[in-house]
Amino acid sequence: EPEVTQTPSHQVTQMGQEVILRCVPISNHLYFYWYRQILGQKVEFLVSFYNNEISEKSEIFDDQFSVERPDGSNFTLKIRSTKLEDSAMYFCASSFRYEQYFGPGTRLTVT
Amino acid sequence: TQLLEQSPQFLSIQEGENLTVYCNSSSVFSSLQWYRQEPGEGPVLLVTVVTGGEVKKLKRLTFQFGDARKDSSLHITAAQPGDTGLYLCAGEKGTASKLTFGTGTRLQVTL
């Protein structure tokens, strides 16, 4: 069964460093998303992407964040200068229409 | 802010009992999705309901979307220990737009 994959599963970085989180969405899906979940809190929407451009973004998704689909399969989230409060699980999701399928997540720890 | 409130927050029951989890909002959603999430993993999609009043069944799980598309319920019949987990509802406005997640219901089923 097709699934969303994410790498790495765990990333530790120092404050101020850049990180790139990678996702391979389900192959025939058209819409791509990033969400995050701070420990013990709700899953929060960051950004959605369709037709090679951002379709919607939340207040969390400021200038430090960017997304890219560099080729036909990968979807990346870049955080330019990480802060302690960026520590969270980051989930990639993809959909063809209504149903969003989530990846296993990348645990980002900023020290 | 679109809030999805789930009740109860925690539920501990014995194997064989029935239970209902509620997901309520003051907002109208075009679709509502139910997920199950294990610790440290991504949400796993259980079902999507789209039409007001819609009922969907997945083995012992029955999902209903309210007539006004503001609320939903998940009913589990004859709960089993394997049903233990965090159940999340998530609403979507429009097609392929961001999901707003509920507060979650943590279910524990004991022998």
Q: For B36-74, how does the pLDDT look when each residue is reduced to its tens digit (9 = 90+)?
A: 999 999 999 999 999 999 999 999 999 999 999 999 999
Contacts of B47 (CB under 8 A, 6+ apart): B33, B34, B56, B58, B61, B63
Average pLDDT of the residues in A80-97: 96
The mean pLDDT value of chain A amounts to: 96
Q: Which residues of B touch A58 (CB under 8 A)?
A: 98
**In this prediction, what percent of chain A has a pLDDT beyond 70?**
100
Strand-strand pairing, B61-65 and B55-58: antiparallel
Indicate the range of A18-22, A83-87, B90-94 predicted with least confidence.
Answer: B90-94
CA dist A20 and A70 (Å) reads: 12
Cis omega before residue B8 (within 30°)? yes
User: Are the Cβ atoms of B101 and A107 closer than 8 angstroms?
Assistant: no
Q: How confident is the model at residue A73 (pLDDT cuts 50, 70, 90)?
A: confident
Average pLDDT of the residues in B70-92: 97
Test the A interface: residue of B5, B33, B97 with most A CBs within 10 Å? B97
Q: Which residues of B touch A95 (CB under 8 A)?
A: 96
Average pLDDT of the residues in B72-87: 97
Contact status, residue B24 vs residue B70, Cβ threshold 8 Å: yes
**Chain B contact residues (CB < 8 Å to A):** 31, 33, 35, 40-45, 48, 50, 88, 90, 92, 95-104
Q: How confident is the model at residue B89 (pLDDT cuts 50, 70, 90)?
A: very high
Of B33, B41, B99, the CB nearest to A104: B41
Average pLDDT of the residues in A27-41: 95
User: Are the Cβ atoms of B96 and A30 closer than 8 angstroms?
Assistant: yes
Q: How confident is the model at residue A70 (pLDDT cuts 50, 70, 90)?
A: confident
User: Are the Cβ atoms of B98 and A48 closer than 8 angstroms?
Assistant: yes
Average pLDDT of the residues in B105-111: 96
**Predicted pLDDT of residue B2:** 62
**Predicted pLDDT of residue B17:** 98
Per-residue pLDDT for B7 more than 90?
yes
Average pLDDT of the residues in B69-82: 97
CA dist A44 and B90 (Å) reads: 11
Average pLDDT of the residues in A11-24: 98
**Predicted pLDDT of residue B26:** 93
User: Are the Cβ atoms of B48 and A31 closer than 8 angstroms?
Assistant: no
Residues for chain A: how many in total? 111
Radius of gyration of chain A (CA): 13
Per-residue pLDDT for B24 more than 70?
yes
Per-residue pLDDT for A50 more than 80?
yes
- Give the CA distances from residue B104 to residues A102, B94, B107, in Å, rounded to whole numbers and listed in that order: 17, 22, 10
The mean pLDDT value of chain B amounts to: 95
